[in-house]
Amino acid sequence: MKLRTLVYSGKQGVKSIYRNRLFSLAAIGTITASLILFGFFFFITENLSHIVDRLQTEVAVSVFFEPGASDEVVANIKTQIESRAEVAEVVYISPEEALEIYKENNNQGEEFSETFKDVNPLEEYDSYTVYLNDVDMQESLVSYIERLEGVRTVKNNENVAKNFSVFNSAVGYVCTAIIVLLIGIATFLISNTISTGISVRAGEIEIMKNIGATDFFIRAPFLVEGILIGFLGALVPIGILYPIYGRIEGFVAEKLGNTLGGKLEFLPVGEVFGKMVPIMLAIGVGIGAIGTMVTLRKKIRRY
């Protein structure tokens, strides 16, 4: 394959897009629509996953000991909990710290401190706070800890992260189904565009065959056409989504920044697009190439 042949195929591919401009526009439009939808789902899933990650750092379970449990038993509980892979950290909370936390969480004032100056009602409520690195493992961890010797009770924290995680998975499934459907439609439209190009150039293809063109020489311009359509179909939504996402991110930061204890924060534009642009271009080019190859296989007999 010589460079001039590549240049020739490229030129022919571009010409063909122009010649069948209505079909080309329809195919580019469908890919654009599909990828805009993909982009929105991508924003949702990426940001939900980001929020879940942030919330997960706060997911913890509290482990209370049997009254009178010896230091050895308490230390043993810690060792066994730390042996679990899903455990990120185990922190000991003394009765005094527990009282202080209660006071802070319940906005108690000086009167509360005065009342419990000499007596700590949580004297027998020292505990471990266990932080997880995988929120999905919380239930299994709890049931494990409950079976340990010296454990009186285990309490789950309110699990916002878990709910987010479930929602994120559901969005992911719906997103995948819709995208698969749209990619199917886009591939069909590209295939249609290439079919039209083949019909328009049927005479030229016949001449090429008769004068000894290789199979690649005949097919390459169509492949260029399909890949270019896919590429353009991916570039357009990237251009449309970039400013939109920037505004959404700004809105969330400004209006919802304090929700969920400051954890509701969207990923920066650069980070999202750094991930999304290569995926979108790969999908666009992939749809173009696959749609074209399927059509060429059906429509142009080899030699």
Partner 1 sequence: MSEYNDILNQFREEEPPIIELEGVSKAYQKDVDAIKDVSFSIKKGEFVFIVGKSGSGKSTLIKLLLRAISPTKGKIYVNGRELSRMHRTSIPKLRRKIGVVFQDFKLLNDRNVFENVAFAQRVIEKSAREINRNVPAVLSVVGLSDKYNSLPNELSGGEKQRVAVARALVNNPMILLADEPTGNLDPKNSWEIMTLLGEINKRGTTVIVVTHNEEIVNVMQKRVIKMENGHLVSDVRKGGYENET
Residue 136 CB, nearest distance to partner 1 (Å)? 54
Separation of first and last alpha carbons in the chain = 18
Residue closer to partner 1 by CB (options 25, 200) is 200
How far is C-alpha 258 from the chain's CA centre?
23
Residue closer to partner 1 by CB (options 152, 209) is 209
Residue 10 CB, nearest distance to partner 1 (Å)? 13
Task: State the number of binding residues for partner 1 (CB under 8 A).
Answer: 19
Rounded to an integer, what distance in angstroms lies between the CA atom of residue 18 and that of residue 288? 16
Residue closer to partner 1 by CB (options 94, 214) is 214
Stretch 103-122 residues interacting with partner 1 (CB under 8 A):
none
Residue 215 CB, nearest distance to partner 1 (Å)? 8
Q: What string of DSSP letters covers 152-195?
A: EEEEEPP-HHHHHHHHHHHHHHHHHHHHHHHHHHHHHHHHHHHH
Residue closer to partner 1 by CB (options 78, 209) is 209
Residue 19 to residues 56, 153, 206, 217: CA-CA distances in angstroms? 55, 75, 19, 19
Contact 122, 62 (CB under 8 A): no
Residue closer to partner 1 by CB (options 221, 284) is 221
Binding track over 7-46 against partner 1, x by CB under 8 A: -x--------------------------------------
Token pair recorded at residue 216? 């690649």
User: Helix crossing, 269-299 with 215-255: angle to 10°?
Assistant: 150
Sheet (strand 87-93) strand order: 87-93, 127-132, 60-65, 151-156
Is residue 2 close enough to count as binding partner 1 by CB under 8 A? Answer: yes
Residue 196 CB, nearest distance to partner 1 (Å)? 16
Binding track over 198-227 against partner 1, x by CB under 8 A: -----xx-xxxxxxxxxx-x----------
How far is C-alpha 105 from the chain's CA centre?
34
How far is C-alpha 9 from the chain's CA centre?
37
Is residue 302 close enough to count as binding partner 1 by CB under 8 A? Answer: yes
Residue closer to partner 1 by CB (options 173, 303) is 303
Interaction site with partner 1 (CB under 8 A): 2, 4-5, 8, 203-204, 206-215, 217, 302-303
